[in-house]
Amino acid sequence: LELTQEEQFQARIDADVRIEPKDWMPDAYRKTLIRQISQHAHSELVGMLPEGNWITRAPSLKRKSILLAKVQDEAGHGLYLYSAAETLGASRDQMLADLHSGKAKYSSIFNYPTLSWADMGCVGWLVDGAAILNQVPLCRTSYGPYARAMVRVCKEESFHQRQGFEIMQTLCEGSPEQKAMAQEGLNRWWWPTLMMFGPADADSPNTAQSMNWRIKRFTNDELRQKFVDMMVPQAEFLGLTVPDPNLKWNEAKQGYDFGDVDWEEFWNVVKGNGMCNKERLQARVQAHEEGAWVREAALAHAEKRKQREAV
C-alpha cells in the first residue's frame, strides 16, 4: 500500500517525529505555522511596551534592573521567533510590514494599559503565568525550530512569572494601600488574561487542525481551565479575591467552574479597538522608523567589507 506524501507527513506527526525546515510539508501546515509564530513574535515585541512604561518609575534600583532585564528578554524572544518563522520562508520585512500596517494580529492582552506599579506584578504573575502554560507544551510542538526556540523562552518566562508573583507578595504584605493596589490590579487583569488563551474551542477555527498536526498540544479551553485551577490557590495565598462571583470548586471535575468571558470585549480588542491598540502600533512604527539609520549603516558596512574583500 503506497502512502501519499500527505499521509506520510501525518504518520511522522503521529509518531512524534519533528518536522524540520527542509522536510516536505503541506502548504496549509506551513501557513498555519507562519501565522502562529509571527503573531507570537509580534506579541513579544508589543509586549515590551506596557512594562516599558514603568522602567523609569520602578520603585527601587533593584526593581528597575529586574524590569529592564525582563523587557530585554522579550525583545530576544521576538527575535528567536522571527528567525523560526524565516525557516518556513517568511520574510522578516514582510512580517514587520504586516504588524506596522495593522494587518497582523498580536496578543490582545498588550492592548490594556499599565496604570499602577501593581500592574507590573499582575503582568508577571498572571500574563506571564498564562504565557508559560501556553508555551511549555509548545516545547513539544511538531515543528522543530519553533519547539527549540520555546525551550529558552520558557526558562526566561518562568523567571518573569516569579518576579511578578514576588511583586504581588510584597504589595500584599505591605500597607493597606499597597494591598488595595494589588487587588485593584487583579480586578483589571483577571478577565483579559483569561482571553489570552483565545476563543472557546467551539468558536476557534484553527484548533482542531492544529491539534491534529500537533502544533497545539492542548486546546484553548483546556489551557484556560488549567490556568484558573493554578491561579486561584495562588490568589488565596496572597489574600486576594478573584473578581468572578461564579468561581466555584467543582469536586466532580477536580477543577474550578468559572464565569463567562466577555467575548464581545475580546473581539473588539482583536479588531484593533481596545484601549491602547493605536498607541501600541504607533510606538512600534516609530521605533522602526527611528531605527532606519542603524539598518542603513549595517548595509553600508556590509557593502564596504564586500568591496574590500573583492580587491
Nearer to ligand ACO, 33 or 172 (CB): 33
Nearer to ligand ACO, 48 or 181 (CB): 48
Contacts of 63-66 with CB under 8 Å at 24 or more apart are 63/120, 63/167, 66/163
Q: CB-side exposure of 219: number of CA atoms within 13 Å? A: 15
Characterize 73-101 residue by residue with b for buried, 16 or more Cβ atoms within 10 angstroms of its Cβ, and e for exposed.
bbeebbebbbebbbbbebeeeebbebbbe
CB of 81 to ligand ACO, least distance (A): 9
C-alpha cell at 4: 501519499
Nearer to ligand ACO, 49 or 118 (CB): 49
CB of 135 to ligand ACO, least distance (A): 6
Residues near ligand ACO, by CB under 6 A: 35-36, 39-40, 43-44, 47, 105, 107-108, 131, 134, 195-199, 204-207, 210, 220, 270
Nearer to ligand ACO, 185 or 192 (CB): 192
* In contact, 88 and 23? CB cutoff 8 Å: no
The SS3 of residue 222 is: helix
Nearer to ligand ACO, 91 or 241 (CB): 91
Distance CA 110, CA 44 (A): 9
CB of 123 to ligand ACO, least distance (A): 9
CB of 79 to ligand ACO, least distance (A): 13
C-alpha cell at 41: 513574535
Distance CA 98, CA 96 (A): 5
Distance CA 47, CA 13 (A): 32
CB of 129 to ligand ACO, least distance (A): 10
Distance CA 208, CA 32 (A): 12
CB of 21 to ligand ACO, least distance (A): 19
Nearer to ligand ACO, 143 or 197 (CB): 197
